[in-house]
Amino acid sequence: MTFQFSHPIMNWNALDQFAELSRFREHCQLIFNGPLSGTTEKQKCGWVATWIGEEGREINKTLQIEAGVDDMSVIFRKLEEYVRPKKNKRVSRHKLKKKNRRRTNRDTFTNYSKVILLDFEYENPEDILIDCIIDGVADAKQKRNCWTEVRG
């Protein structure tokens, strides 16, 4: 039986390759759950190798996947590791210090700071967050209120 469907295409020139890979993976899963539902794991790996394109196959060669491993989850995990944005503690620290608390409300500032703190890998990021919240406030009364809030 012949099926006609739009096959997934991985755009290696996308600005956000991690999001692009997620979209590509989702499209692959839809096809493997639909028109190609009867395919084996080895065949699925072959389809993915076809759909990732020439550049993707070149990248795939560098991922150090054991020979004979025909598991889509391994291939996608390795590709995710490849396209995942790299952490840069210095840039993150700079962003955190430059974020001005006065221009945003406390919740927005706190959420933004928590996202940036994920890159720091400190043992206790809550202490750093508290310092940033308090240091980010210029007004003495607001600073006292923040200090009282975070200390409980």
User: Which 8-state DSSP code applies to residue 102?
Assistant: G
2-60 per-position pLDDT tens digit: 568 888 999 999 888 888 999 999 999 999 998 888 899 989 988 998 899 889 888 88
User: Do the beta carbons of residue 16 and residue 46 sit within 8 Å?
Assistant: no
| Per-residue confidence band for 68, with pLDDT thresholds at 50, 70 and 90 | low
Predicted model pTM: 0.57
Handedness of CA 132, 136, 138, 144 (dihedral sign): negative
Q: What does the mean pLDDT of the chain come to? A: 78
* Domain boundaries, given as residue ranges, for the chain: 17-83, 89-151
Alpha helix locations (H) across 84-139? 89-98, 106-117, 125-135
pLDDT at 2: 59
